[in-house]
Amino acid sequence: MRLIHSPVRRSKLYEDTLQKLGGKESSLFPTLREALTFCAVLGYKERRKLPLDQKAGMEDIAGAQYQINEAVDLLFALALADSKTSDVLRPEREKDCVQIYEEYANGGLELVNSWIERYADLDVEDAVWRGLNSIGVKPPAAAQPAGDVVAPTF
């Protein structure tokens, strides 16, 4: 696992949406980092790469937050998939990797924000599941209860 030193930025334009998805008050993701990573993967899946709007303002998540978890792996995997060349993984191109992640996260946040607005009568989790269903993502199948174990007869 490689460490990153650059902060990961996010647009204040979708800060309310991000706060609804992750953090102390959210039931979906325990941290903003996890919510942002979900949005980055969603943005990549839906080919929504949206540059951050400098005029809207930005917030940072310290690069250190991406050093002890799988989020850093996803950050580099998205950069590799987007650029289609391993050159993007060179240490001197870290900022490029972070920017790719930020732009996909911003695109994913825009999409989730539209779902929350479209399904305003539902709570955030239900709105996200409805939105995911609308793009072909199905919820996990409910676990089937184990049947009674029947002893074999010989």
Q: Is 63 among the domain residues?
A: yes
Residue 86 lies in a domain: yes
Q: Residue 145's pLDDT is what? A: 66
Number of domains in the chain: 1
Q: Tell me whether residue 150 is in a domain.
A: no
Q: Please determine, for residue 151, whether its predicted confidence score (pLDDT) is greater than 90.
A: no
91-106: buried (b, 16+ CB within 10 Å) or exposed (e) per residue? eeebebbbbbbbbbbb
Instruction: Examine residue 144 and state whether it is found in any structural domain, yes or no.
Output: no
62, part of any domain: yes
49-74: per-residue pLDDT in tens? 999 998 999 988 887 787 778 889 99
| Domain extent for 100 | 8-134
Q: What single letter denotes the amino acid at residue 30?
A: P
Our measurement of the distance from residue 11's CA atom to the centroid of its chain's CA atoms, rounded to an integer in Å, reads 14
This prediction has a pTM of 0.86
- Report d(CA 105, CA 146) in Å as an integer: 39
113: nearest Cα among 128, 133, 132, 94: 128
